[in-house]
Amino acid sequence: MYLGVPIIADNSGGPKESVGEGCGFLCKNETEWAEKMYEILTGAKKNLTKGRKQVINKFGFDKFSSDFMEGICEVSGQQLKESKSSKVKGKKSTKS
């Protein structure tokens, strides 16, 4: 997905969380797999370019470090400090 390649995955477990609309397809059976492969290979489905953005937003370093620091602060009972630069960008700082 990070490379912008459409994904075809089983409609269960992890792919249900990671393969979103515009990134690829979740298939329930062999027929759906074959249909989606055909659509991708023939160019019938061209609007499947959201994968890279979704990977960065859900699983990228900024998201991971932000979630990690929020978890640490929650466990320790401390608040996450915001730096001046993060307030401008609208993001919380990952430094404390």
Global model pTM greater than 0.85: no
Number of domains in the chain: 2
How long a stretch of residues is the chain?
96
Alpha helices in the chain (DSSP H): 14-18, 30-42, 51-59, 61-76, 84-89
- Token couple for 34: 């074959």
pLDDT score of 27 more than 90:
yes
Comparing CA positions, the residue from 28, 75, 74, 22 lying closest to residue 45 is 22
| In a shared domain, residues 16 and 41 | yes
CA distance 86 to 57: 17
pLDDT score of 20 more than 60:
yes
| In a shared domain, residues 64 and 52 | no
Cβ(55)–Cβ(1) under 8 Å?
yes
pLDDT band at residue 28 using 50, 70 and 90 as cut-offs: very high
Range of the domain at 67: 60-89
Query: pLDDT exceeding 90 applies to what percent of the chain?
Result: 14
| In a shared domain, residues 45 and 67 | no
| In a shared domain, residues 83 and 50 | no
Note whether residue 2 is domain-resident.
Answer: no
* Crossing angle of the two packed helices 51-59 and 61-76, in degrees rounded to 10: 20
